Structure 1
Amino acid sequence: MTTARTLTVPAPAPEAATKYFGAELAFEVDPDDLVRDLDAGRTDGYVVVETRAEEAYAQARIPGAINLPYKDMTAESTQHLDRDLVYVCYCESIHCNAATKGALKLAELGFKVKRLSGGITAWIAAGHPVEGAGETGEIRCAC
């Protein structure tokens, strides 16, 4: 009997899976959890950060998000940020890594971070609201 392709590499032990998936959830938040918090006014403890360029932020953004392009993140440009908060970084999609680069830079500067799974395209695909000049128009990387 041949092994199913799905099981060619065996599943990890439950302890390893617990560690891995627990870490994944520590690093990421999904659009549905975030929108539920925003809709309920539960915004204490975190800030949503658009990490793409200013023109992308102007085109379409998650309501309440601040714009902090990852390319511009320095100790000086982030000195006004509250180090007690968690910064939830997002970018265009899974095909863009501006959120990862922004989260890395913020972490290197001593901030607590998470990344929004799927970026703004996943946010829009889930039917969540956006603000901006183009709102639900063309979304692009713009890193």
Structure 2
Amino acid sequence: MDPSDLFEALKKGENIIVIDARKPTAFEAEHIPGAINIPHREMNEEQTQKLDKNFLYVTYCDGIGCNASTKGAFNMARQGFNVKELIGGLEWWKKDGYSTQGTQSEPNGSKVECSC
């Protein structure tokens, strides 16, 4: 799922839960508004037992050089969750101009025009 599709789905109130698959310190510094933090190394049945399997879960990490979202999506899919990965992670979310929250957040992203 790309950042614009995720933003529009969240804006429409679709049943999506965004999961930041990075370490808690990275989440505290900056994350997508409304995201919850479940580090991919801790994504086991104990950590996910209270999550509703009727929702779509979208995992993300820092960007294309980080694989926490891929590992997190794999862990969740293995547990029977409907899961997608956010293309480009937090980096592309900000480049599309969407805001972040946290101690080092960017309220307006850092809009970069796409050439596609």
TM-score (norm 1): 0.71
Give the secondary structure class of the aligned counterpart of 2:98.
Answer: coil
Distance in 2 (CA, whole Å) between partners of 1:44 and 1:32 is 14
Q: How many residues align?
A: 106
Out of 30, 33, 36, the position equivalent to 1:66 is: 36
The alpha carbon displacement at 1:36 in A equals 2.2
Give the secondary structure class of the aligned counterpart of 1:55.
Answer: helix
TM-score (norm 2): 0.87
4+ aligned runs moved over 2 Å, structure 1: none
1:36 maps to 2:8: yes
* Structure 2 unmatched runs, 5+: 107-116
What residue in structure 1 maps to residue 74 of structure 2?
Answer: 104
Residue identity in the other structure for 2:87: S
The alpha carbon displacement at 1:130 in A equals 0.3
What residue in structure 2 maps to residue 135 of structure 1?
Answer: 105
Matching of residues 12-23 of structure 1 within 5 Å: none
1:79 maps to 2:49: yes
Distance in 1 (CA, whole Å) between partners of 2:64 and 2:105 is 20
Residue identity in the other structure for 1:61: H
Residue identity in the other structure for 1:36: E
Distance in 2 (CA, whole Å) between partners of 1:34 and 1:76 is 27
* Structure 1 unmatched runs, 5+: 1-28, 137-143
C-alpha RMSD of the superposition: 1.0
User: Which structure has the greater CA radius of gyration?
Assistant: 1
Give the secondary structure class of the aligned counterpart of 2:19.
Answer: strand
